[in-house]
């Protein structure tokens, strides 16, 4: 149909009205649908202006009619993209909530298919079951204040936290008697094994719990202050809060920076410095000792030590020949003897002297014994008679035919001990039976032996059959300065050495009993040792030594490992089956280049909070370093 003016007319398919063909008709039809008010309002402007524009029903923007389809298509695609992003975000949030629930950091555990192995109920796994004693529940972050942590800490739920395994271990050692053996174990210790949720990162906390179990049970001076005086072992989240409280009080600032200042709710594993900081905040003098593998060295002209592969960090001479001074405060910092006097070396003090400048011979105590230029002689061997014992000797030996217990050790030009024994000198270890090719870290083994054996003169005879023992000093495997590293051990060790010398001088029935293979197992008052190496830590609860006549002594550490299931170990000890594989560790297992030992010495009461002694505990450094 045509209008009077000749324009074509079209009928509206909705209302039946006739409109001029073109934009006016299109706008009229659109006005019947959603957004009709916007289109109707735009109709006069569009019809009168002749520009051909409409208002977008999605964003309200005026768009040319020719572009409206592409504009709306852009809105549709944007909507699809937004929907896809929202779906991805929802899936990620759901997955994150599931992970939070899995690792114990969610307020409500996720609903999971299947049934729990522990309680048989659906909706959760065994790791989340409230009836599971190894479950680590989510703990709120505690303020790093001692009073707040003490009030809100939680008790370790594992049943093994209250069980002492030392009596069962003692019975197994007695039942497995061997000739020429002697063993020392600590008096009380609980074995804490890792739970499912702390596997791979909780070994440091578990070993701390084992050490603390002894302190709570056998140290009445420590129990009232440890963990706020609660009297029981806190769980892992509570220990994390105690560590942050120690940092907040100023203990171990370098460790705090390295760990980022917080550990609560994380899977960060801790090492010896963190354990020391946590214990020291209670005034407990937790001490650290380093054991390192010595760099390869040879002997040059005149007996001077050649430190192969080691360069002086000041003059850059390589290799260092003669005495090498190793810094105890700067990592991997060594200077030669000439640069040691330089002012530039002051920043690395104190140093440990390693090697020999050549010439001279060291005097031996208690009957002699020569060893050229031994300068790293903090561990000294006493006389080894027929199957005798190695002891840390100091000062003068015993008079009489029993052999001297004195030890010496010269430095360069000689020097010696003051032993007065008249027995024949035994050969030094360097001249006796060759060491096993798998004998790693002998200084560590001897340190542990002296730690547990010193001060326990009541040990039953398990050694030689009489005869005199000399006091040979040896530089091989000797420990490094400071020379008073065993100050806390010497008094007891000297008494035990005298008792052992008297037993050897007596001979007779004692020697016959040893020949028949009687094993002496001594329960000491010493606490366990925290043993750390790169990647793992364990608790040393004792040591066993086998010393047949004519052979070098063989040591085996008695170890409780957090990776060993506590229930399985108790069953092995109870039935005396396969327990040695789980507990004993020989020198061949010490294959790592560096180890650290943390121990709490006896007889040192906790320092009062705020005292000068308490403030001094905030700086953590190794009290001694030993090189094997």
Tell me if 507 is assigned to some domain.
no
Enter the tokens of residue 601: 């010495």
| Res 524: pLDDT | 93
| Res 136: pLDDT | 53
Tell me if 222 is assigned to some domain.
yes
Q: Are residues 155 and 222 in the same domain?
A: yes
Residues 23, 519: Cα–Cα separation, whole Å: 111
Q: What is the mean pLDDT of residues 287-293?
A: 90
Q: Are residues 230 and 210 in the same domain?
A: yes
Which tens digit of pLDDT belongs to each residue from 91-127?
888 877 766 655 544 444 445 567 777 788 887 666 6
Q: Are residues 152 and 278 in the same domain?
A: yes
| Res 199: pLDDT | 84
Give the percent of the chain with pLDDT over 70: 66
State whether residue 123 is helix, strand or coil.
strand
Which tens digit of pLDDT belongs to each residue from 555-593?
999 999 999 999 999 999 999 999 999 999 988 888 888
Tell me if 107 is assigned to some domain.
no
| Res 101: pLDDT | 59
Residues 525, 542: Cα–Cα separation, whole Å: 11
Residues 430, 471: Cα–Cα separation, whole Å: 14
Give one DSSP letter per residue of 540-594, joined into a string.
Answer: EEEEEEE--TTS--EEEEEEE-TTS-HHHHHHHHHHTSSHHHHHEEEGGG--SSE
| Res 450: pLDDT | 93
Enter the tokens of residue 379: 């561990």
User: Can you give the CATH number for the domain in which 337 is found?
Assistant: 3.30.60
Tell me if 245 is assigned to some domain.
yes
User: Is the pLDDT reported for residue 554 higher than 80?
Assistant: yes
Confidence of residue 484 (pLDDT cuts 50, 70, 90): very low
Q: Are residues 230 and 317 in the same domain?
A: no
Enter the tokens of residue 94: 């759901």
Closest CA to 595 of 548, 496, 543, 529: 529
If one compares 589 and 409, the residue with the highest pLDDT of the two is 589
**Do residues 197 and 132 make contact, with C-beta atoms less than 8 angstroms apart?**
no
Tell me if 451 is assigned to some domain.
no
> Which of 306, 327, 354 is the C-terminal boundary of a domain?
354
Q: Is 250 exposed, middle or buried (0-12, 13-18, 19+ CB in 10 A)?
A: middle
> Which of 354, 371, 392 is the C-terminal boundary of a domain?
354
Q: Are residues 243 and 305 in the same domain?
A: no
Instruction: Please state, as a whole number, how many other Cβ atoms lie within 10 Å of the Cβ of residue 129.
Output: 18
Which tens digit of pLDDT belongs to each residue from 172-188?
999 887 888 999 999 89
State whether residue 490 is helix, strand or coil.
helix
Give one DSSP letter per residue of 275-296, joined into a string.
Answer: HHHHHHTTT---EEEEEEPPPP
For residue 18, the cross-strand partners are 11
If one compares 626 and 449, the residue with the highest pLDDT of the two is 449
Q: Are residues 235 and 205 in the same domain?
A: yes
Residues 150, 228: Cα–Cα separation, whole Å: 5
Q: Are residues 263 and 159 in the same domain?
A: yes
Q: Are residues 192 and 270 in the same domain?
A: yes
Q: How many domains does the chain have?
A: 2
Which tens digit of pLDDT belongs to each residue from 246-284?
999 999 999 999 888 999 988 899 999 999 999 999 999
Closest CA to 417 of 494, 480, 323, 485: 494
Instruction: Please state, as a whole number, how many other Cβ atoms lie within 10 Å of the Cβ of residue 545.
Output: 22
Sign of the dihedral through C-alpha 90, 95, 96, 102: positive
Q: Are residues 304 and 288 in the same domain?
A: no
Tell me if 133 is assigned to some domain.
no
Q: What is the mean pLDDT of residues 75-80?
A: 87
If one compares 294 and 26, the residue with the highest pLDDT of the two is 26
Confidence of residue 226 (pLDDT cuts 50, 70, 90): very high
Which tens digit of pLDDT belongs to each residue from 415-443?
333 333 333 323 233 333 333 334 478 88
Tell me if 613 is assigned to some domain.
yes
| Res 166: pLDDT | 94
Q: Are residues 257 and 160 in the same domain?
A: yes
**Do residues 491 and 393 make contact, with C-beta atoms less than 8 angstroms apart?**
no
- Of 146-155, 175-184, 461-470, give the lowest mean pLDDT range: 461-470
Q: What is the mean pLDDT of residues 479-489?
A: 35
Residues 581-599: b if buried by 16+ CB within 10 A, e if exposed: ebbbbbbeebeeeebbbbb
Q: If you count them, how many residues does the chain have?
A: 628
Q: What is the mean pLDDT of residues 233-249?
A: 96
- Rounded to the nearest integer, the mean pLDDT of the chain is 73
Enter the tokens of residue 81: 């993209």
Most confident of 291-305, 409-423, 473-487, 548-562: 548-562
Enter the tokens of residue 578: 């396969």
> Which of 354, 384, 402 is the C-terminal boundary of a domain?
354
Tell me if 391 is assigned to some domain.
no
Most confident of 96-110, 352-366, 589-603: 589-603
| Res 103: pLDDT | 52
Confidence of residue 553 (pLDDT cuts 50, 70, 90): confident
Confidence of residue 48 (pLDDT cuts 50, 70, 90): very low
The whole-model pTM stands at 0.54
User: Can you give the CATH number for the domain in which 610 is found?
Assistant: 3.90.70.130
If one compares 9 and 43, the residue with the highest pLDDT of the two is 9
Non-local (6+) Cβ contacts of 618 within 8 A are 249, 250, 251, 252, 280
The domain in which residue 316 lies consists of: 298-354
């Amino acid at each position: 149909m045509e209008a009077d003016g000749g324009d074509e007319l079209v009928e509206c398919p909705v209302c039946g009205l006739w409109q001029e063909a073109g934009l006016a008709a299109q706008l009229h039809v659109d006005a019947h649908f959603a957004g009709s008010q916007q289109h109707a309002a735009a109709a006069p402007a569009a019809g009168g202006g002749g520009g051909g524009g409409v208002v977008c029903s999605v964003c309200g923007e005026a768009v040319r009619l020719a572009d409206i389809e592409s504009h709306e298509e852009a809105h549709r695609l944007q909507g699809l993209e937004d929907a896809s992003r929202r779906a991805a975000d929802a899936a990620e949030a759901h997955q994150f909530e599931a992970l939070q629930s899995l690792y114990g950091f969610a307020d409500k555990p996720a609903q999971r298919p299947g049934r729990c192995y522990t309680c048989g109920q659906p909706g959760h796994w065994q790791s989340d079951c409230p009836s599971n004693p190894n479950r680590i529940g989510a703990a709120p972050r505690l303020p790093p204040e001692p009073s707040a942590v003490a009030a809100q800490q939680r008790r370790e739920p594992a049943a093994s936290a209250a069980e002492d395994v030392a009596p069962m271990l003692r019975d197994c050692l007695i039942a497995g008697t061997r000739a020429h053996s002697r063993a020392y174990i600590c008096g009380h210790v609980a074995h804490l094994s890792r739970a499912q949720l702390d596997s791979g990162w909780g070994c440091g906390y578990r070993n701390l719990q084992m050490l603390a179990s002894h302190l709570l049970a056998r140290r009445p001076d420590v129990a009232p202050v440890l963990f706020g005086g609660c009297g029981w072992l806190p769980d892992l989240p509570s220990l994390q809060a105690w560590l942050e409280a120690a940092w907040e009080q100023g203990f171990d600032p370098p460790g705090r920076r390295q760990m980022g200042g917080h550990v609560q709710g994380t899977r960060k594993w801790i090492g010896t410095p963190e354990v020391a900081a946590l214990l020291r905040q209670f005034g407990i003098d937790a001490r650290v000792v380093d054991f390192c593998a010595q760099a390869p060295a040879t002997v040059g002209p005149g007996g001077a030590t050649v430190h192969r592969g080691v360069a002086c960090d000041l003059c850059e001479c390589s290799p260092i020949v003669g005495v090498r001074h190793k810094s105890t405060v700067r990592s991997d910092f060594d200077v030669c003897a000439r640069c040691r006097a330089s002012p530039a070396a002051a920043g690395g003090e104190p140093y440990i002297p390693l090697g020999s400048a050549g010439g001279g011979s060291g005097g031996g105590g208690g009957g002699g014994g020569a060893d050229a230029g031994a300068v790293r002689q903090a561990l000294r061997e006493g006389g080894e008679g027929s199957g005798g014992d190695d002891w840390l000797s100091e000062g003068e030996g015993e008079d009489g035919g029993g052999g001297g217990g004195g030890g010496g050790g010269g430095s360069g030009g000689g020097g010696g001990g003051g032993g007065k024994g008249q027995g024949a000198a035994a050969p030094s270890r360097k001249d006796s039976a060759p060491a096993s090719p798998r004998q790693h870290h002998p200084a560590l083994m001897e340190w542990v032996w002296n730690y547990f054996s010193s001060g326990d003169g009541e040990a039953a005879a398990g050694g030689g059959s009489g005869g005199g023992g000399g006091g040979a000093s040896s530089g091989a495997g000797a420990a490094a300065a400071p020379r008073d590293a065993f100050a806390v051990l010497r008094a007891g060790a000297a008494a035990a050495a005298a008792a052992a010398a008297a037993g050897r001088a007596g001979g007779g029935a004692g020697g016959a009993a040893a020949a028949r293979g009687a094993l002496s197992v001594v329960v000491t008052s010493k606490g366990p040792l925290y043993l750390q190496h790169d990647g793992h830590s364990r608790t040393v609860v004792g040591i066993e030594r086998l010393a047949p006549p004519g052979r070098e002594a063989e040591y085996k550490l008695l170890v409780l490992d957090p990776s060993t299931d506590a229930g399985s170990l108790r069953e092995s000890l109870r039935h005396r089956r396969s327990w040695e594989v789980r507990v004993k560790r020989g020198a061949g297992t010490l294959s790592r280049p560096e180890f650290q030992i943390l121990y709490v010495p006896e007889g040192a009461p906790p320092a009062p909070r705020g005292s000068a002694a308490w403030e001094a505990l905030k700086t953590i450094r190794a009290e001694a370093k030993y090189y094997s």
